[in-house]
Amino acid sequence: MMFQYSDEDLIAGLRQRNSSYIDFLYQEFFPIVRHHLLHNSGTHQDGEDLFHDGLIVLYNRIQTEPFKLECSLKTYFTAICKNLWLQRLERRYKLIYHAECEVQEEPAEYVTEDHDPTEQNLEQQRLFHKNLMQLPVECRRLLQLYCLKIPYREIAKLLKYKDEVYVKTRKYSCKKMLRKKIIKDPECDQFIKHHGSRNVR
Amino acid sequence: MEAEMSDDWIDRYNNDELDEYEKALFENKMLADPLLRSEVYIDACLNRFLMDFELQDLMKKIRAASRKNSGGKWLLDIFLMIASILVLSSIFGVFYLVRSSAETTPVGLPKYAGQEGQKVQVDSGKRNVIFPGDQRIPKDLTKNNFESLAEYEVLVGTGSRSDQFKLISPNVNVSIHIGTEIKFVWQSYNKQVPLYLVILNNHGITVSKVALNQVSSFNLKTKGFKSGLYYWKMMAEEKMVVMGKFTVL
């Protein structure tokens, strides 16, 4: 049997990035997002991605205090996802799109805020995360420690590397591996088209 | 120099660790190399992403929730598929067993016994078991179950219509244990003629009669037979084709 959480509980749980609340949100909200997408030129995978991005936007929103809901969280989340999908469709296909609301409630007013990540940024972050997760565990750990500003000497001890120089070299190679993976990912095309060419591989 | 540049200069450039000379050199190279330009851009974005641990943690948990839920469905689908296969197999298995049993097993064969010459029930049109009655063999008749019957002894191994019929098994005189099957195999050159297998006890009483339409083998199940001597004869058009005997131990 699944627990029922109030909107306030869900917001508090998401604010702490609590896994059980995120699970609950997925089970409750994902079907709505998927339904919306399947009826609006989207696929199941688009639904997964949109739910992912919508939750990131919601997470960013609830970090700013005070956060006040003027409708149910479900309606609010659905509005975020619809807005994102609208932007994505416009960017991808340049189509005119009219949203319909499947949630049997009044549609929520949704205005993109300045600190919201852009739709394109969300997609880029997803691309980075996907490729980061494909790196060897040791590389991921090394990059994490480096980003935590742990001194090279400490990293060498933690990962049992022979010295700092090796840590540095390894860090470069891991970073390079990640960069190459990202650039080779077909989804990366849209982000680098203004910055270079993919011909040289 | 080139290799060194592409390996760590991108990182150093984005971390502002290059000196003025190196920076100028690197920027010149970027102008001429679109791929390097892309890498530098991606690297800069990547640096911002890698520093955002909260975001990475949240993304990891969302992915886990997605995998968990779709994984559960996948498992459920597999489970349902296996369950369906098992149920269907069971249904077909039972159906097959019932069908094959109906085709090869004379239902209730050992249960019935009747007097020879007694009118038998014939279910025409199919291969049938014909029960000569529901009379049990009287106890006094089974006292000397192993004594041979002189009239039949002379007929064991003999037969007629050898041009139309050839017995392959069993031997005309076999001994078996209760429950063992006796396999009757024969070749019949005229399958249109109805064939019967008649089992008699050592008192000449018909124990069972089986119609063998358009088959060339039959397994006689002796489960339920009493120990003793039995005679069998295969009949075609009321004439004996071959006769043999078996002893149930």
pLDDT digits (tens, 9 = 90+) for B158-216: 777 767 778 888 888 888 888 888 888 888 777 777 888 889 888 888 888 888 877 88
Assembly ipTM: 0.80
pLDDT bucket at A108, cuts 50 / 70 / 90 = low
Domain contains A54: yes
Q: Does B177 touch chain A (CB under 8 A)?
A: no
Shared domain check, A148 and A73: no
The shortest CB-CB distance from A129 to any of B35, B41, B59 is to B59
Domain contains A161: yes
Shared domain check, A21 and A104: yes
Domain contains A175: yes
pLDDT bucket at A134, cuts 50 / 70 / 90 = very high
Q: What is the mean pLDDT of residues A179-187?
A: 89
Local structure of residue A32 (DSSP, 8 states):
H
- Final residue of a structural domain among A115, A138, A171: A115
DSSP notation for chain B: -HHHIIIIIHHHHHTT-S-HHHHHHHHHHHHH-HHHHHHHHHHHHHHHHHH-HHHHHHHHHHHHHHHHHHHHHHHHHHHHHHHHHHHHHHHHHHHHHHHHHHHH--TTGGG----TT------TTS--EE---SPPPPGGGGTTTT---HHHHTTTT-BS-TTTEEEEES-SEEEE-TT-EEEEEEEES-TTS-EEEEEEETTS-EEEEEE-TT-SEEEEE-TTPPSEEEEEEEEETTEEEEEEEEEE-
pLDDT at B73: 62
Domain contains A2: no
Which is more confident, B158 or A25? A25
Cross-chain residue pair B34–A196, CB shorter than 8 Å: yes
CA B100 to centroid of chain Cα atoms: 12
The shortest CB-CB distance from B38 to any of A56, A147, A192 is to A192
Shared domain check, A104 and A145: no
Q: Does pLDDT of B62 surpass 50?
A: yes
- Final residue of a structural domain among A115, A131, A162: A115
pLDDT at B69: 78
Could you tell me the residue ranges of all domains in chain B?
2-51, 109-248
Domain contains A107: yes
Local structure of residue A157 (DSSP, 8 states):
H
Q: Does pLDDT of B128 surpass 60?
A: no
Q: Does A93 touch chain B (CB under 8 A)?
A: no
Cross-chain residue pair B45–A30, CB shorter than 8 Å: no
Cross-chain residue pair B43–A55, CB shorter than 8 Å: no
Q: Does pLDDT of B119 surpass 70?
A: no
pLDDT, tens digit (0-9, with 9 covering 90-100), for B96-116: 888 766 555 444 444 343 444
Q: Does pLDDT of B229 surpass 80?
A: yes
B contact test, residue of A24, A26, A124 with most B CBs within 10 A: A26
pLDDT at A17: 92
Shared domain check, A105 and A24: yes
* Topology of domain B109-248, CATH: Immunoglobulin-like (2.60.40)
pLDDT at A22: 92
pLDDT at B72: 58
Closest B-chain CA to A147: B51
How far is the alpha carbon of A93 from chain B, nearest alpha carbon, in Å?
Answer: 24
Q: Does pLDDT of A5 surpass 50?
A: yes
Shared domain check, A110 and A11: yes
Q: How many domains are contained in chain A?
A: 2
- The letter for the amino acid at B240 is M
Can you give the residue range of the structural domain that contains A129? 122-192
Cis peptide before A117 (omega within 30 of 0): no
Q: Does B94 touch chain A (CB under 8 A)?
A: no
How many CB pairs below 8 Å do chains A and B form together?
A: 115
Query: What is the average pLDDT score of chain B?
Result: 77
CA B232, CA A163: separation in Å to the nearest integer? 96
pLDDT, tens digit (0-9, with 9 covering 90-100), for B14-31: 888 888 988 999 999 888
How far is the alpha carbon of B87 from chain A, nearest alpha carbon, in Å?
Answer: 28
The shortest CB-CB distance from B42 to any of A51, A55, A179 is to A179
